[in-house]
């Protein structure tokens, strides 16, 4: 499988067409952004960690019955995935208060919820990905009721699988963002990525952050955190 023309360059990945109209190649970059692109930087080795970690998580989820876009890893930064029409919603699941939830509702980080929460943002950079509810998503024609129901059901299932798995790595899954897409036949599948860019991951014992918050908050040890997650997932270093 080889890359044809570049279809899209995003903040963290490039997407290329292939000879098969139903498949694209995703190429992960080391570029990092935060706060809707206001803060920019590079995290050395991030592209490799995010590619390998996403593929690892997608394969685990497939085994648990969650359909994903994953097809085949081509190299340490490149993966063949099913080309999907992305549903323009960022789905955020939270197990513990942090980030924009803590800020919006004026609570501290680290409150363990009795049950997970779900929220949607309208995936639209110009508008700064505004928070919306599922009625707004329907009104805006972003998805059908059936698709929204499916996305909610899949998201909570993904949370259960991921929570259990990260626990075996001595990692707490605080919150994460998912994107879904529709394949040519209309099937809703998990797309985009699952990585330290898109999840909050805390060490179970020390509560040390092993994710992009180290970059967002200028905490230092950013590369090391990504490498540590890679090591815990695969038991090896890059
Ligand atoms: P952004 O667009 O937010 O800057 P990225 O740099 O991660 O994000 O770019 C990757 C883009 O590819 C995203 O817009 C994402 O929605 C899209 N995408 C992810 N998976 C697929 C897929 N399987 N098919 C088509 N597009 C995808
Ligand atoms: N997230 C993401 N992309 C976004 C917004 C959020 O991957 O555009 C992830 C983020 O890494 C965190 C979770 O979603 O794991 C919840 O993020 P939050 O709403 O707290 O926003 P943030 O603190 O990133 O502004």
Closest atom of ligand 2 to 92 CA is 14
Rounded-to-integer distance, Cα 100 and Cα 92, Å: 11
Going from the Cα of 198 to the center of ligand 2, the distance in angstroms, rounded, reads 6
Pairing of strands 31-34, 89-96: unpaired
Helix pair angle (46-63, 145-168), 10° resolution = 110
> What pLDDT does residue 235 have?
85
> What pLDDT does residue 1 have?
86
Question: Which residue's CA is the closest to the ligand 2 atom numbered 24?
Answer: 99
Going from the Cα of 176 to the center of ligand 2, the distance in angstroms, rounded, reads 7
Tokens at 112, concatenated: 């363990």
Going from the Cα of 13 to the center of ligand 1, the distance in angstroms, rounded, reads 7
Q: What is the pTM of this model?
A: 0.97
For ligand 2, say whether the CB of 176 is within 6 Å of any of its atoms. Answer: yes
> What pLDDT does residue 36 have?
85
For ligand 2, say whether the CB of 92 is within 6 Å of any of its atoms. Answer: yes
Low-confidence ranges of the chain (pLDDT < 70): 236-238
> What pLDDT does residue 237 have?
57
């Amino acid at each position: 499988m080889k890359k044809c023309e570049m279809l899209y360059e995003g903040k963290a990945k490039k997407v290329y067409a292939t000879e098969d109209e139903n498949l694209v190649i995703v190429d992960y970059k080391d570029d990092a952004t935060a706060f809707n692109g206001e803060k920019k930087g590079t995290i050395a080795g991030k592209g490799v960690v995010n590619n390998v970690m996403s593929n690892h998580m997608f394969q685990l989820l497939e085994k648990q019955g969650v359909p994903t876009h994953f097809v085949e890893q081509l190299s340490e930064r490149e993966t063949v995935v099913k080309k999907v029409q992305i549903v323009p919603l960022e789905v955020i699941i939270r197990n513990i208060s942090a980030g924009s939830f803590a800020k919006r509702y004026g609570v501290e980080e680290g409150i363990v919820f009795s049950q997970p929460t779900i929220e949607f943002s309208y995936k639209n950079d110009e508008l700064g990905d505004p928070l919306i509810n599922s009625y707004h998503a329907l009104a805006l024609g972003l998805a059908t009721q059936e698709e929204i129901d499916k996305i909610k059901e899949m998201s909570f299932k993904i949370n259960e699988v991921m929570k259990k798995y990260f626990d075996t790595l001595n990692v707490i899954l605080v919150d994460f963002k998912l994107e879904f897409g529709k394949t040519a036949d209309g099937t809703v599948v998990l797309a985009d990525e699952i990585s330290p860019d898109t999840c909050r991951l805390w060490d179970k014992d020390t509560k040390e952050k092993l994710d992009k918050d180290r970059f967002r908050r200028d905490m230092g040890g950013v590369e090391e955190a990504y490498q540590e997650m890679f090591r815990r997932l695969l038991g090896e270093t890059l």
